Amino acid sequence: MSFAKEIEALDRVTPVAAEMATEDLNLISFARKAGKNLFSVIPDATRHELYLRGPGNLHYVCDPEMITEVLIGVGRHFPKSQFTKNVIGDAVGNGMILSEGDKWKAQRRRYSPLFAARNLPHLSKEFAQTGLDTAAALLANPGQTDVCLTSQQATLTDISRVMFSGNEAVAPETVRDALWRFTNHISFVSLFDLMGLPTWVPRKKWLRGKEPVNYVRSLASDVIASRRAKMKDNPEDFLDLMIAALDEDFEDLDTTIDNLLTFVVAGYETAAVTMSWGLYLLALHPAIQSTLREEVRAACPSGPIPFEAVTMMPRLHAHIRETLRLFPAAALFARDATQDVVIKDVHFKKGDAIMFPIWSLHRHTKLWDNAGEYVPERFLDWKAPRGQFLPFGDGPRVCIGAQYAETEIMILMASMIRDVEFSMTDHEIPLPNLTFTMRPGGPIMLDVRPAL
C-alpha cells in the first residue's frame, strides 16, 4: 500500500446511517410509522437479502437482475406507484414525472433536447456564478455553518437563475422563498397516501392549504407569459429553451407549468441533499478533502469554474458518485404491477407494489465491498454493473436531468472547496430521514474557514 493510501485508510471513518426496521410490521403499523420516516418501515434485512416480501402486497427488491428486468424488461411498462402520485400529484400534475404511456413519451421526446450536452456549457455559467457567490458568502462569515441551508440556498439560486430569471416583477428572493415552501409542502407524506386510499379522501395536509402550490403555479405562469412576450431570438436560459419547445410543439400551458415544476422538484432538493452529505463526508475525511482541493485548483485556480474543467476533476467526480451511493436523495422508488409476471422465481401479481429501496441497494453487503464505508476511489476507472448503482433510476424513465444534476453539483462543490475548508464540529450529525426525498433529519453543522 502506498503512503497516500495509508493516509486515506487512517482518515476513513464510517459515516452516519439511517435507522431501519428490525422487526416485522403489519400494514397498520407500517402506515403509522412511515408517515414520519420511511426508513423506519424498510427492513434492515434489505441490506443483506436480495429479495424480501413485505406486508400486504409489497415486495422489496435489491437484486440487480430483478431490478433491471422490472425497469427495462418485462416490467418496463409498469407505471409509477400510486403512492408517488398521491404524494406529489397536486404539485406537478401531469408533468413528465407522473404521466404515463403516449403522453409521457411525447413529453420525454419534447424535453430531452433541453438536457442535451450541448446546452450544459451555457447553463454551467450560471452554476459557476452561484458557486463563486456561495464561496464568498461562506468566507465572509467563517465559523459554524449549517451546510444544509447553504446547499439549499445555492441550488435555489441556480433554479432561479436558469428557470425564473429575467422577470423584473419578481425578485429572486421571492422566487427562492416560494420554491422552498413548495418543496416543503410536497415532502409531507400522508398516512392515507401510504395506505393507497383514493385522492378524494381528505388528507391532513389539506388543512395546511395548497397556497404554496397555487402560488408557485401562478408565479410560473406569469414568468412564462412575460418571457414569451419578449420574443427572444436566442435562448438565454433553461426557461427560454422550454418556451421554444412550447411554441414549436403547441403544448398546452398547464402541461408546460407541470413540467417546469417537475424540473424544480427533481432538481432543487436532490442536488441540495447531495451537496450537504458530500460536504459532510469531506469534513469527516480531511485528507481526501485536501486531495480534491488540489485537483480543483489544478483544473481552475481562480474565477468561475468552466464546463470544460469538469472532466479535469475525476477524483471529485468519484467523491460525488460515492456520496450518491451512500446518501441517494431518491432513496426509494416503486412500480405498480399491471399484470402477473414471474422474475427469478418470484411471482408478482397484478396490483402488487414493487419497492426498490435504493438506500439498501447502494449499501448491500452482497454487492459492495465495505458497503457502509466511504470509499470514493471505488468509482475511479470502474462502472457498477447494471442495476446496482441507481441514483437516477434506470431504463426508459431514467432521470432526464442526470447529467445536468451532476454538472451542477460538480461546479458548486468545486467552487466551494477550492477556497473553503470544511471541518467537523461538536454538533451531532443528524440521521437521514426519508419522506418524498431523503433529507438530513436536521442541520449539518460544519466549521468553515479559508483554505490554505
Kindly report, residue by residue over 228-263, the tens digit of the pLDDT. Answer: 777 666 666 677 777 776 666 656 777 778 887 777
Query: Are the beta carbons of 360 and 47 closer than 8 angstroms?
Result: yes
Segment 159-204, tens digit of pLDDT: 878 776 655 545 666 766 776 677 666 665 555 555 555 555 555 5
Amino acid in position 229: A
Backbone angles phi, psi at 336, to 5 degrees: -100, 125
Q: What is the C-alpha separation between 313 and 317, in angstroms, rounded? A: 6
Residue owning grid cell 427492513: 43
Q: Which of 98-107, 117-126, 352-361 has the highest mean pLDDT?
A: 352-361
| E strand or H helix at 432 | strand 432-434
Minimum mean pLDDT range among 42-46, 193-197, 350-354: 193-197
For all residues of the chain together, what is the average pLDDT?
A: 85
Q: Given a cut of 80, is residue 307 above it in pLDDT?
A: yes
User: What is the band of 1 on the pLDDT scale with cuts at 50, 70, 90?
Assistant: very low
Count of residues in the chain:
452
Query: Are the beta carbons of 145 and 138 closer than 8 angstroms?
Result: yes
Report CA-CA distances (Å) from 288 to 13, 337, 399, 432. Answer: 12, 44, 29, 23
Radius of gyration of the chain (CA): 22
Q: Given a cut of 50, is residue 7 above it in pLDDT?
A: no
The confidence score (pLDDT) of residue 213 equals: 73
Q: Given a cut of 50, is residue 78 above it in pLDDT?
A: yes
Q: Give the mean pLDDT of 50-64.
A: 92
Q: Which three cell numbers stand for residue 233?
A: 431570438
Please list, residue by residue across 192-202, b when 16 or more beta carbons sit within 10 angstroms of its beta carbon and e when fewer do.
bbbbbbeeeee
Give the list of residues 6+ apart from residue 4 with CB closer than 8 angstroms, or none. none
Provide the 8-state DSSP code for 204.
G
Q: What is the number of other CB atoms lying within 10 angstroms of the CB of residue 124?
A: 23
Q: What is the C-alpha separation between 373 and 401, in angstroms, rounded? A: 28
Query: Are the beta carbons of 347 and 340 closer than 8 angstroms?
Result: yes
The confidence score (pLDDT) of residue 161 equals: 80
Q: Give the mean pLDDT of 99-105.
A: 84
Q: What is the C-alpha separation between 138 and 140, in angstroms, rounded? A: 5
Report CA-CA distances (Å) from 385 to 67, 327, 361, 368, 376. Answer: 12, 19, 12, 11, 17
Segment 394-444, tens digit of pLDDT: 998 898 889 999 999 999 999 999 999 999 999 999 999 988 789 899 999
Amino acid in position 304: P
3-class DSSP assignment, residue 203: coil
Give the list of residues 6+ apart from residue 160 with CB closer than 8 angstroms, or none. 172, 175, 176, 179
| Domains of the chain, start order | 3-450 (1.10.630.10)
Q: Which of 245-249, 267-271, 359-363 has the highest mean pLDDT?
A: 359-363
Count CA atoms within 13 Å of residue 413 on its CB side: 34
Q: What is the C-alpha separation between 109 and 7, in angstroms, rounded? A: 48
Terminal CA-CA length for the chain: 28
Q: Which three cell numbers stand for residue 191?
A: 398516512
Query: Are the beta carbons of 246 and 124 closer than 8 angstroms?
Result: no
User: What is the band of 2 on the pLDDT scale with cuts at 50, 70, 90?
Assistant: very low
Give the list of residues 6+ apart from residue 128 with CB closer than 8 angstroms, or none. 304, 305, 306, 411, 415
